[in-house]
Every structure is written in structure tokens, then in C-alpha cells.
Structure 1
């Protein structure tokens, strides 16, 4: 009789530039990072189509990033997922070797050349994230053998909206991952810190988590209450991350090259496919070299460009005179000019001061993500909080989110106290548009995400014989739905209202946020069976038919 394997628990940090996966080792009582095929614990969030024309499939991860045939690659999909094309950062788009286009409904998709069909191919951002997740999940399955995987927790930025969370769940479905739940990245990090250093925090302690990765900035304030971690304030900036500092370095290097080789990186109208390939190779080499130099300057004040790798052989061989020296001072001055440090500090203060988290009132500051390794970033944080409150130097800022996700996955599958101690919150008010374009909040910022936390409001019909009603859902801090920063989410329509005089029919509107941070909406006519539900389980911008087509397209690359 076969012995049934114990279930496995998986955590995935799906990052903009790098991703990680862990399993929870129930014997060692700790989450363990799983290495990829290159022996790395961090996997590049890249895919390459370069092997399709030779009978191969899509290449994912560090192999895709490190390939010498860097032509048809896609990365940074997390900066595009769940967004409209008009919301995708234009500075990023200028530097990507692929294009971002708009669907008829405004949603952004990625267009990259397919060497097999010798034509451009459209990819939804969910597909690219799905390919990365499928790769990570595959190496986990190989590591764990035939063990069934019970629970999987995938992390997302705290400021991800419903569409972005939906799209991430859809990416998981494309990858064939089941039993998935989402967790906010800073929450996972603090869970891991509390697991590694259980005696370092006591009741009443205040913690600030600053998660500054490749694509996003997340800030979370939480308090220890007995054995609970209560999130009191959180927020983020999806358009600020290590990539933005990379872009500064890219521009510094481009300007250096431009002085000796005018037009080297210039895009031209009507470029042939061969010319596009040549330019894309230059852009990808430039991106990788910019990342390398930026990282070097975190440990050194001066470093040099690798011109041999940066420039193509035909230019390098003729001995172009380019100064290879890059200083940390010059780099930081340019970042300062562009307001990156100011934007970073403003976001932190916007979240922390909301609940009075400031110097001498905070006992622990967790700096998470690769961008937090930059000296100037640490100096900026030290100006807000006491440096001695920074986390233990042995705490790994690169693996904390993945490990915390792995522990959360384990805690969901067993009778473990940790599944009762995380009280996350809604970071931004959610509400509806009422007469006059006024935003009426249904869920306030700071509301705890709890299964029983259901918000109910009642509204009466506004015209005689009204048979339907529409509720436009928005998110933001504005007074009116057209105020700056307000985000339209979706519309809930209820049909079949009995024909009665104005105000004689009452509609009850119910809203709650589930454990994945996604809204569940219900509207019903009081005293009747008329009811409608809207639970955003897949991207609201896609129909069932479009989702089926997406699955078919995804499978073409395997």
C-alpha cells in the first residue's frame, strides 16, 4: 500500500525584476528557497522567444536574461499588468525592446516579434507573468517530487488594485497553479521577521516596513498587540522602484556614448526588422550594464563601464574614446535632480505620519527589496527614523517576502497561530458615485480585511417605474469621482426592479474585501428575490470567451 506524501506549502515572490519561490520544510520548521536551473535563488522575471524558430519553447528566467541571443525578450510585465495602456509609464516604454499597445477597451498588452511566425505577436501581461509563475512552479515540483502541493501564496504590492490582483490570479491559473491566495508583500516580510526573531518584538511595538523593489515602493505601518500583527496604515507607488534608478543610469551612459557615437541608440521611423533587432540588442545590453553599474555603486564610490560588453564589436574594435568612469556622486546628483529621493521620502511620510509613526516612536524599520541596499536610500530612511531601529543585519531583504509567503501558505494549511495574527487593511477608500458626482465611501482606508467585515448601504429608486440601477465603483481619497487621483474600478448593474413610484423600491448594496484584497459586491432589492453579485475572480476587462482564448494562446508556447 502506497504511503501518502505529506502536502507541501509554497510561497512565491513575483517581482518586477526578480522572482523567488520557497517551500515550507515541516521538519526544519522553516521556509527554504528553491534554486533555479542556474543555481540562483533569485530568478529574473524575463522571458525570451528567441528559440521558437528552432523548434524550442519560450525560455524563462536567468537563462532568458543571460542568453547571448538577447533579441526577442520581455520583462517588467508587473509594471504593465492590469493597467490601461495610457497608464503605462512612457519613460519605461522608451527603453523597452518591445512595444506596449492598447486593446479596444484601453487595456495594455505587449507586442514582441515572434521569430517563428516572422511577425509581431501580442501578449497579455498576465501571460508573461504566467510563464514566469509556470517556470517557478515547475522547479518547485521537481524539488518536491510527487508531493501534493496544498497551498500557494503569491505576493503582490500593497497598492495593487482589483484589476491587478485579478490579473495576477489569472496568471496563476494560466500557470496551472491551484489553491492560490494573495498576500501583500510588506505583510509577508514582517511575518518572516517575526518568525526569524520571535523574541525581538513585544506588545505595543511599532514597525515600519519599506519594501523598495525593482518596480514598486510599498510602505506599511503595523503594531504588535499580544501575538497579533495589526496593520494600521499602508500605501505605495507603483511607478517608483529600482527600475527608475536604472533609467537614470541608462541616460547617463547613453549621453556618454552619444558624445562619441551620435545616434547610436536612436529610434527611426520605418526601421526594418533587421534594424530593430540591432537596436533591441543595444537596448538590452544597455539595461543590463546600467543595472550592474548601479549595484556596483552600492558598494563602491567609483566603478567603470564594461565597454566591451556594452558596445557592439564593430564600434568597440575601432577604439572609440569613451570615458568609462562612473561615480556614485554623479549618479546620486542626477537622481536628486529628477526628484527620485524626494518622491521616495514623500510616500513614506504620507503613510507613516497618517498614524503617527515617526522617530522615537518606531521600534523596528524593515528595509526590504534590492533598492533598499543603495546607500543614499538608507541615508534618507535614517533621516526619518533612528538608524539603530533598522532590522538585524543578518536579515536577508531579498528573500524575506518569499519566505514570509511560504510561511503564510503553511499557516493556512495547519492549525497554526500565525493564520490568526495578521490583520491587513484596505489602503484606499472604496465607494460609489452618487448624485452630483459625489464620492460616497463604503469602505474607508484602514478598514480591516476580515471575513465578517461587510458594509451595507441602502438606496431608494430615483425615478418612477425604475427597472434597473447602476452603481459606479471608485477608489481614492477625493470628494468627487472626477477628482485627481480617483480610480474608476467597475460598474455593478441590477436589473428587474419592480415598477413602482419614486423612492418606493429600496436597493441594499453590500461590499466587502476578501483575503486576496479583492472586492465582493452584491446589490438586492429589499423584499424581493432580485439580486446581483459581482466577485472579481478574473480580470473584469475580459469576457469568458477572451479568457478561453488567452488560455489557448498561452499553450502555443509550450
Structure 2
């Protein structure tokens, strides 16, 4: 193990290289390490400050980006340029978040497509990956400042219910922040590791992880066997958390003082002051019987009994989620061996009491619930760094495996450092009407463009029935067996047409070559992701042009000459930008074309509906 010096002046650790654990949270994020001497997980913080960094990014004048506590101050004064809860957008299309779009005070682009969401700030367009990378960059800089050593490798946690696209987006955000993401670990798994659960390979346990944060609630049921964590079920509520407890207290005070909803809506200062006092009351009541304070002429008071009464319904909702998760896992509560508490809101005594009563056992709350996930990520990082020799680490893939998609992009199906054996599947579709075949090219490597990676195999899926573009569903699946042999299958789901290829283990790469490929991916991360974003923007623009031209051709008689002229002009401008413009210019032109065509597309849709109601067709 590398020698570590302690900087006496700051008490910080100095070590050649350290793999850190990162909890990239919706509300707050933080970094943890295993202390080299005590061998205990430790959340990094400076002196007596908090270990938590608010997951907030603010874009100021001249593109000055601030992150964390500094950025939080702008949530009220400059909401349009202050991005919060970016994690909720990870790997999502606009259609996924449509229901809750008004939750975000900044501009989330509504282009009615299945492509990933973008956030517009001024004339710049950001993906959730870029937004998350700003937070990770801040965490990296903070860790380097405290540890006085470069930090380039990390383990990052995600919710257990995150799908493949969301996990890949988290990896990309790490790469963009200059981090080699060695593992993506489920948050409940990390919390269990922090308590030492699953570190003994002989141990078999079933664990419930109850995670109540500032804005979200998750319950996960895990089974640990031979050091492998299996998620049996997850449940939760993405709009239930500590904020709702604060709101319940505010409601109680509003009732007592006759403060109306209208007053709260118009008097932002009072609304904010009440919210902050409610948060202080909630924290105070964890250790005291009564909270007393005042704002202007309002005398504010609440007892533990009153607080429990106004929040019991919220805690009950989480218990219902626990009941549903148990049912999905096919288990009775007496089959749960351990209950782990995660998230700042689990400090509320009523929460602990009701969760303990539901599971019929004491809960684990010894560790700081805000830090427990990052601590577990640090435990996993320690295992990966080879310092924890007691823990068996299964064979892993040295480099990512994926296929080539539109524009020569690498779409990763199995990220590097995945445990093997493993199986991953993802659905793709056709780009052109009546397309009957699809070329599947398999690559190995970490760069965003396939030309910079290593080609392993290629085959064609033929016999796809003629259908409009976007209708066929082709599932491509990668299976790596215990011998390291990769089997790639492609199947068109609607027709059942299928083909596959076997790729033998690639032992041709030396450790130096693997190391070089990894180093290149970090060195070129910024330009790679910029290239990927530009290629994706161009692809989206091409698809929009095809769709719009198709629409005009079919509906020319229902459009005015002006509408056609303006649209063709916008298409011509977009065509030029596809060849010479940057990502923001292309996306700006896509947005402009969308705004131009939306009114007449909606008009025709309304006409079609009213004609259909009359039994006619247009």
C-alpha cells in the first residue's frame, strides 16, 4: 500500500492515489474514503463544515458556473439559471418527465420526442450528463483540496431502480468530470456495505434498506449470498421526503395564524421564512419536546405530539411502499434480517418508531444517514483498490463493450469493470422507412466514437419486415459467460427474426494497451462528449427534417403558403448548421423548427379529431 503522510497544519491525508466513493444525490452529494489508518469509512469535510454539497448548479454572467452552497443562494433570486434535481433528468426523455415538468423552475426543452431531455440556459443547451458533471467536478476538486492528492478514480452510487441508460449517463458524467468510474453501485448495496453487511462471503442475509431523503423515498429489499447483492424488489415515491415534513409544519402554522394560500403565493419572503423555521423546528423536535420561535408578529410553536400528528400520514405512505416491496419480493416481515436507515429524514423519531414497528426489529441508524451511502461507496472503492484482501472480487471486464450506432457513436452495453458472468439487453430501431436489415458492429473500448475503439466483430440482422422507421423493435443482447466468451444476439421482437455471433475472449491486449485506452478516454473525455453531443444533435436534426418534409408532402393542401415558405427556410438554415454549426446552434435551430411546425401540426390534429367525430376523414 502507498505510504500516506498527514499534513499536520490541515490534518489532511496525503497519498499518491486514492479511489474515492461518491454519493451523487438528488438534493445533496458527497465524497468518502477509507481512512488509511483507522480503516474506517470517512466522509470528507473541511474542518467543522458539512460533508454535504448541495446538488445545485448556477450559471451566471459570462458563463461563470457555481456549484453547491454558493449556487443554492440563487434558487430564489435567479431560478431560471439555477439547476437543481438534475439527477431526476438522468437518462430520461421529455415524455418521461412530462407529468412533473412544472416541478422544474428552469427550462426543460419540450420537443415531444423520445430523445434525451435538454435544459436551456440562455442560448446554451445542457444535457443532464453535463449538469451532473459540474457537481462531480466540484466534488473532485473538493476531495483533492482536502486530501492534497490528485483524485482520478471513483465508485459512484445510483438508485437501485436506475435503468441501463441512467447508469450509463452517470458514468458519462463521471468521465466528463475527469473521473475513471470503476463501478456504479446501487445505493442500498452501498448502505449495507457501510454497515459491514455482505463483507463476509459466508453470510446469507435479507436486508431492507429504507431511504428517506429531502425529496424522495425508496425502499429496497436485498438478498446477500456469497458476497453478491441481489435486488429482490424496490418501491417508493419520487415526490415524498423531508420537504413534505416541513410543509406539514408550515400548514399547521398557517392554520393557526389564518395565513392564506394567496398570501404564501404572493409573499415569497414570508413563505421562505416559514419554510426555514419549519425545517429548524423539525430538527429541534428530534431531541426536544417543544419548539418556540417567531417571525414578525407571528408566534410559532409546535410540540412533538403535534408534529407527529401532522406527519403521521406521510410516514404511513412510506410504510405502504414497504408493504408493497415485501409483497413483490414474496417475503414476510419476519424473513428480514436487518433494516438499514438512509437519508437525513430518517432522523425523525416517528419514522424510526414506525419502521421498527413494521419490520418488528431494531433498525440500523448508528451511522450518519446522510453519509452512509458515500461511506459504502468508499468500502467498495477500497475493495477495488486491493486494500481489502478479505473480500472476494469476482472476475470483471477490463474494457467496455458496445455497438456502433448512428453517426459512428459507441453505445456501451456492458461497462468496464462489470462483474462476469453478466447479461445486458437494449432495444434499437430502424432509421429509414422499409429498412429490412441492420448491421451490428461490436466494439471494445472507452471512447465515444467507435473509430477510436477496437472492433471485435460484425454481423447483419436481415429479414426485418418492411415497416415505417422507428416501428421495428430490435433487441440487441450481450451475454458474457463465466469463461469470458461474449455472445451477441439481435432479435426483431415483432417478427421474431433473430441472429447471433460468438466473440472469443480477446486476450490480445496487454495491460499497457488497456491502460492506454483508459487514459485516452479520460484525456479526451471533454472533446469526446462534445463530439457525441454534436453527432446526436445532428442525428436529431436530420430526423426532424425528414419528419417535417414528410408531413408537408402529405398535408400540403391544408397548409398556407407562408407556413410552407417559413418552414422550408428554417429547414434550409438547419441543413447548413448540420454541416458547419456547433451543438448549441444546431439545437437552437431544431428548437426553432419545432416551434414553427408545432402550431400547424396541432391545428391539423384538431381538425382531424373534429372530422373524425363527424365520421369524416382528412
Which interval holds the TM-score relative to the shorter structure? 0.5 to 0.7
Question: 1:19 is matched with which residue: 20, 23, 29?
Answer: 29
Residue deviations 1:42-63 (CA, integer Å, cap 9, x gap): 22222334xx34x683222123
CA drift at 1:158: 0.6
Residue deviations 1:330-367 (CA, integer Å, cap 9, x gap): 45444455xx3343122222223444544443332111
TM-score normalised by the chain length of structure 2: 0.58
CA drift at 1:163: 3.0
What RMSD over aligned residues (CA atoms) do the two structures have, in Å? 4.8
| Structure-2 change in CA distance of 1:159 and 1:144 (3 Å) | same
Residue number in structure 2 paired with 1:427: none
Residue number in structure 1 paired with 2:113: 105
Question: 1:404 is matched with which residue: 369, 376, 383?
Answer: 376
Residue number in structure 1 paired with 2:137: 134
Are residue 344 (structure 1) and residue 344 (structure 2) matched? no
Q: Which moved more, 1:283-292 or 1:55-64?
A: 283-292
Partners of 1:40 and 1:183 in 2: how far apart?
A: 24
Residue number in structure 2 paired with 1:523: 490
Partners of 2:274 and 2:172 in 1: how far apart?
A: 32
Question: 1:60 is matched with which residue: 63, 67, 75?
Answer: 67
Name the SS of the counterpart of 1:292 in structure 2: helix
Name the SS of the counterpart of 2:64 in structure 1: coil
CA drift at 1:147: 4.1
Partners of 1:207 and 1:499 in 2: how far apart?
A: 45
Question: 1:256–1:323: 8 Å Cα contact kept in structure 2?
Answer: no
Structure 2 portions without partners, runs of 5+? 5-14, 396-417, 427-433, 441-458, 466-473, 482-486, 492-496, 504-527, 539-581, 588-618
Name the SS of the counterpart of 1:403 in structure 2: helix
Name the SS of the counterpart of 1:176 in structure 2: coil
| Structure-2 change in CA distance of 1:283 and 1:161 (3 Å) | farther
TM-score normalised by the chain length of structure 1: 0.64
Residue number in structure 1 paired with 2:599: none
Partners of 2:58 and 2:499 in 1: how far apart?
A: 57
Residue deviations 1:176-220 (CA, integer Å, cap 9, x gap): 22234311001011111117x979x97344322222222333333
Name the SS of the counterpart of 2:262 in structure 1: coil
Q: Which moved more, 1:242-251 or 1:128-137?
A: 242-251
CA drift at 1:26: 3.6
Q: Which has the higher helix share?
A: 2
| Structure-2 change in CA distance of 1:69 and 1:341 (3 Å) | closer
Structure 1 portions without partners, runs of 5+? 113-118, 268-277, 308-315, 424-448, 458-464, 472-493, 501-506, 515-519, 532-536, 554-558
Partners of 1:46 and 1:257 in 2: how far apart?
A: 34
Residue number in structure 1 paired with 2:88: 79
Name the SS of the counterpart of 2:321 in structure 1: helix
Listed as ranges, the matches of 1:234-313 within 5 Å are 234-237=233-236, 239-243=238-242, 245-246=244-245, 248-249=247-248, 252=251, 255=254, 259-260=258-259, 263-266=262-265, 279=268, 287-304=275-292, 307=295
Question: 1:6 is matched with which residue: 16, 21, 40?
Answer: 16
CA drift at 1:416: 4.3
Residue deviations 1:259-288 (CA, integer Å, cap 9, x gap): 447733437xxxxxxxxxx85x66655554
Question: 1:178 is matched with which residue: 143, 162, 180?
Answer: 180
Partners of 1:332 and 1:92 in 2: how far apart?
A: 31
Residue number in structure 1 paired with 2:477: 510
Residue deviations 1:128-162 (CA, integer Å, cap 9, x gap): 3222111111111222334463x311111111123
Residue deviations 1:114-137 (CA, integer Å, cap 9, x gap): xxxxx5865443333222111111
Listed as ranges, the matches of 1:159-558 within 5 Å are 159-194=161-196, 203-225=203-225, 228-231=227-230, 233-237=232-236, 239-243=238-242, 245-246=244-245, 248-249=247-248, 252=251, 255=254, 259-260=258-259, 263-266=262-265, 279=268, 287-304=275-292, 307=295, 316=296, 321-336=297-312, 340-355=314-329, 357-388=331-362, 390-391=363-364, 394-414=366-386, 416=388, 420=392, 450-454=419-423, 467-468=436-437, 497=462, 510-511=477-478, 522-523=489-490, 544-546=535-537, 549=583
Partners of 2:248 and 2:284 in 1: how far apart?
A: 12
| Structure-2 change in CA distance of 1:188 and 1:467 (3 Å) | same
In terms of Rg, which structure is larger?
A: 2
Question: 2:53 is matched with which residue: 43, 66, 74?
Answer: 43
Count the aligned residue pairs.
Answer: 440
Partners of 2:252 and 2:100 in 1: how far apart?
A: 16
